Each structure stands twice: as C-alpha cells, then as structure tokens.
Amino acid sequence: MTKTSDKNCLNLKLKVWRQKGPDVKGRFETYEARDVSTDMSFLEMLDVVNEEMILSGKDPIAFDHDCREGICGMCGAMVNGRAHGPEKGTTLCQLHMRHFSNGDTVVIEPWRSRAFKVVKDLVVDRSAFDKIIQAGGYISVNAGGAPDGNAIPVPQEASEKAMDAASCIGCGACVAACPNASAMLFVGAKISQFALLPQGQLEAKKRALAMIDKMDELALETAPMKQSVK
C-alpha cells in the first residue's frame, strides 16, 4: 500500500462484510480507503469509499445512519471485533479517523445475533427491540398532564438513575458485544427508567415480565449467529 505523506491523512485497507440479503451467503471483501482525513468520522470515511465505488459502477456498502450525532442509535457495526469501534462510550458516527493509524487494516462487519438478521451488508433488522418496547416499555395508567407530573416529588437519586437508564439509545451494541447475544442490558434499562419513578411503579412488575417474555421469545438470550461465509 502506498502511504500518504500528509500526516493528517490516512491510507487504510478495509475488510468489509458484504451480503446481498438475509438468505444469501456473505463474505468479506477488501477495499482501499485512500487519503482519508483524520478529521472525518468513520461514517464519513465510508461515504467517501462509497462515492468512489459508485463512480466505478460498483454496488456501494450498505450501512445504517440517521442523525450522526450519537443520539438515534441507527449506526452500528463491529470494527475490528468491537461494537462501535475502539473508543468507549462512542457511537460509530462519533468515532473519528484520528483513532486509526496510517496503513491499518480495519475489519467491518454487522452485529452478529440470531435476532438481528442481516438485511444487507452492515444493515441489520433491529425491530426486535421495537417489539420489546411494544410489549411493555411504556406507562398506560393515567399519570395526568405535565403539571401533575411535576407536582409529584421524585427523590434526586431515583431521578438520576432513571435518567441514566433512559440514556440507552437502543443501538444494539450490548447484544452484539455479549457472547450470549443477550439483550438484558437494553431490557433492564427500559424497565428501570420507568420503574424508578413514582408514575411507573404501579405497573413495574407487569412491565418487567412482559418485556422479558418478549425478549426470550425473540431469541435474544440464545448463542450468537455464526457467520455464513461463501
């Protein structure tokens, strides 16, 4: 590989999982990412690679993205075997290329879980999380309007813990990183964010049982799906 002379640019070798559909066998394909600015995010780097592929008449790499601000939870892939890449507490869209070195080989693959089937390339179906939320991730009792909610005293410790739980963006990284492909971290967060507050305690047990039953039904406690390589 020809190395760039600009210290703010990188030349990388990408090994990307390509799979045309959920019922088609996939494989790793190798691409060159040249003159990548260290100021780019990981997704911006993929954008540049895709632009070159489109100009060459090739099928671009499919990957999920939306807000690109670390809020929506859409982006997500395994980078060198780690969910969202090497930086802790960072989504893939917030991962910057300055955390890589010139000449690196970067392996990119989708979440690996029986419940998260590959749609195409790096895109997986995470609707299992939506189904868990539909099973009980809400409060159905009449808790009144906003003024009523503000009138109910909430201990600061409970408020802080509920806010911490609510910060889960449902990206699926916990499932991808778990050897058992378990969704317990996601389900626990979505149960806790309501159960810790007075308005949610009335239905807390019912909510927890419903969401855990749905999690088990969707095979989010089974072993991770093995790669199917052609």
Q: CB atoms < 10 A from the CB of 161, how many?
A: 16
| Mean per-residue pLDDT, 122-133 | 95
Token look-up 């802080």 returns: 160
For residues 101 and 132, membership in a common domain is answered with no
pLDDT at 106 over 90: yes
Q: Which pLDDT score, from 0 to 100, does residue 5 have?
A: 47
CA distance 152 to 167: 22
Pairing of strands 9-18, 105-109: parallel
Q: Which pLDDT score, from 0 to 100, does residue 180 have?
A: 87
Q: Which pLDDT score, from 0 to 100, does residue 3 have?
A: 44
CA distance 151 to 141: 17
For residues 29 and 53, membership in a common domain is answered with yes
For residues 140 and 86, membership in a common domain is answered with no
C-alpha angle with apex 176: 175 to 181, nearest 5 degrees?
A: 50
**Higher pLDDT, residue 21 or 4:** 21
Q: Which domain-ending residue is among 118, 137, 160?
A: 118
For residues 86 and 152, membership in a common domain is answered with no
Q: CB atoms < 10 A from the CB of 163, how many?
A: 11
CATH of the domain at 14: 3.10.20.30
pLDDT band at 66 (very low <50, low <70, confident <90, very high): very high
pLDDT at 230 over 60: no
pLDDT at 150 over 80: no
Q: Which pLDDT score, from 0 to 100, does residue 113 have?
A: 86
Q: Which pLDDT score, from 0 to 100, does residue 228 have?
A: 42
pLDDT at 85 over 80: yes
Tokens standing for 5? Answer: 């002379």
> Which of 16, 73, 14, 17 is CA-nearest to residue 225?
17
CA distance 162 to 98: 34
For residues 110 and 152, membership in a common domain is answered with no
Evaluate whether residue 222 is within a structural domain. no
pTM of the model: 0.86
| Mean per-residue pLDDT, 152-173 | 94
Tell me the average pLDDT of the chain.
Answer: 90
Q: Which pLDDT score, from 0 to 100, does residue 148 have?
A: 78
For residues 96 and 132, membership in a common domain is answered with no
Q: Which domain-ending residue is among 66, 91, 118?
A: 118
| Mean per-residue pLDDT, 16-26 | 95
Give the range of the structural domain holding residue 138, as residue numbers without chain letter.
127-217
**Number of separate domains in the chain:** 2
* CB distance 90 to 71 below 8 Å: no
* pLDDT tens for each residue of 43-59: 999 999 999 999 999 99
* pLDDT tens for each residue of 172-229: 999 999 988 899 999 999 999 999 999 899 999 999 999 999 999 987 754 444 444 4
Token look-up 């790793």 returns: 28
Strand, helix or coil at 217?
helix
Token look-up 């927890």 returns: 208
Q: Which pLDDT score, from 0 to 100, does residue 221 have?
A: 52
Q: Which pLDDT score, from 0 to 100, does residue 210 have?
A: 96
Q: Which pLDDT score, from 0 to 100, does residue 220 have?
A: 73
SS3 string of 95-131?
CEHHHCCCCCEEEEECCCECCECEEECCEECCHHHHH
For residues 54 and 28, membership in a common domain is answered with yes
